[in-house]
Amino acid sequence: MNPNRRMLVVGIFFILMLCATLYRLADIQLIHTESFSKKGVNLVQESVNQRTQEVVIDDGRGRFVDRNGESIQKHAEPSLVLFPFLKETSWPAEELSKIVNISSDELKGLVSGTKEPVVLSKDDGLRLTKAELEKINELEIPGVFGIYRQTLLDESLGEHIIGITGENAERLREKYPDRTDLSYKTKIGVTGLEKAFDEFLLPDAETKLLYHVDGDGHPLFGINVKYIADSNPFYPVTVQTTIDKNIQEMAEKVLDKQKVEKGGLVLLDIENNEILSMVSRPTLNRSESTTLTNYMLQPLFPGSVFKTVISAAAIEYGLDDATRQFNCSLNLYGEDDGGQDDGQLSFERSFAKSCNYTFTTLAEELMEKDKNVIENTADKLGLIGPAGWSGEVFHYENFKQLPDEKTGNIWGDEKDKSVAKAIDQTAIGQKNVKITPLAIANMMATIARGGQKEQIKIVKNILYKNGTNMFSFTSNSLGGEELSPITASKLQKLLRLVVTDPEGTGRRFQTSSFEVSGKSGTAQTGKKDENGHTLYNKWFAGYFPSSNPRYALVVVEMDTTSAEAGTNAAFYDVAEEMSKIDERKN
């Protein structure tokens, strides 16, 4: 190549590189200073942040309270704030010492070796009253403040219910393109109610104390600390859930006591079809993705709990002949394999003792009458479709309170409806049958109400900051066909017989303070433990008190050996505790 031409090419290359560099600098300093990169970084604000030190009092995100208005996860913690520039001034540490009961030398020592504000609260052994906070602020010491700071409660409750938040700048901009006021560090809901109500919970502004410093951390504009507060009277909002904080705490302790490591429970207020408590295990751990799943909203093998559906269908099709006897010494396929020895049982006693053969026989007879009878009956009981509240909320036409809730399933293949063994396995809640614990709790509540099925609520109201109502969630019908009151009444008797029959699978509840009605279930999961033992899902689902139902409860322990399951014990304990709670109310 000609030397002159080579120099020309090199020169053009360097000119292009210089232009690219100049454009990059212009982009950073002039063009996209307030929305740089896909994250939408505000470079001007970040530059200011590098020259400030701050204490965030409240991040401005909305919060959750229980049905009685008590905070579920956050509360205002009395705290003492000391800014580091105190070490360069003469300040009356002795006066502060008298109020906070910390020596003046210790107070001075706290700020002597730090460049960041020091915040002391209960976790540091400092317990301050409202009056003491007022005395601290009356001293008017620059750099010393007594504040109420939003912090997480010592013991978080309902972690799977509330869910988690996280930083995801790209997702934030994609989800809220019009909210250019939001910092790229703004947290958004990832799971649970944090996810469902994210748009309502987004912060309007932070409440914080801040001051400006130079590169060495020295005051840049004197020792004045600015208090920046959100003056909006409407935000942040408060989401009032249907959860009862005391009941939720009790339920979590019961599962811990009974060593339910995987599974959980759902407790409903039958009258309003509201969730009083919902617990999922294992406990939520952000660093382990497998713990983020709320199993109460996931379809699981229900086992013999599903016989309630077959019973309902049998009643509606007139197959519940009280005089008919079933040979319950046969297995589910009608074979005499020596595994059963219950002899001849009526329909009612078959339900109480959970005889497989009775319900596989009835299922085959029902399928001859109607190929869709099982799923149609399950739908009448609110088992298949999502049971959680959905409806119109402002511009949302189909807002869901529980967006993580999955739908149930009955059949894996339409051809199975013509295969006897597939029908038999389906009848006892195996094969492809999977139902969420939430839906099973809803089935029990539906039966207890006489067949009336409703959507399940977990949130009652969204409240503005000033306490006025932003939105209230009405009670909605679940839609579709319902069980006849006669069928529901007969199911109520069957569920009670499970407990009252001397050989019923729920006979241990005969000593419960409440009269309990319910159904047990044991479902094979297809898994084995390290010792080769078969693992099951163990259930007990029901309601109480039987004569005047107020609570529907389902407890499930997953992947457990039958002998180790704490399901029935956990159900029993929760019923006992609810009895005590009702006594205190009265």
C-alpha to C-alpha distance for 304 and 519, rounded to whole angstroms: 8
Backbone angles phi, psi at 209, to 5 degrees: -105, 135
How distant, in Å, are the alpha carbons of 96, 119, 143 from that of 138?
A: 10, 18, 13
User: With contact defined as beta carbons under 8 Å apart, do 84 and 128 qualify?
Assistant: no
Most distant CA pair in the chain, distance: 110
Tell me the HSE value of 113 on the side-chain side, using a 13 A CA sphere: 4
Of 82, 78, 54, which Cα lies nearest the Cα of 134? 78
DSSP 206-243: -EEEEEEB-TTS-BSS-SPPEEE----SS-S-EEEES-
C-alpha to C-alpha distance for 497 and 350, rounded to whole angstroms: 10
How distant, in Å, are the alpha carbons of 1, 4, 17, 24 from that of 11?
A: 15, 10, 10, 20
CA angle in degrees (0–180, nearest 5) for 142-143-147 = 110
Active site residue 183: no
Catalytic residue among 79, 277, 280, 304: 304
C-alpha to C-alpha distance for 310 and 289, rounded to whole angstroms: 37
User: With contact defined as beta carbons under 8 Å apart, do 52 and 218 qualify?
Assistant: no
User: What are the structure tokens assigned to 182, written together?
Assistant: 């939001």
Catalytic site positions: 304
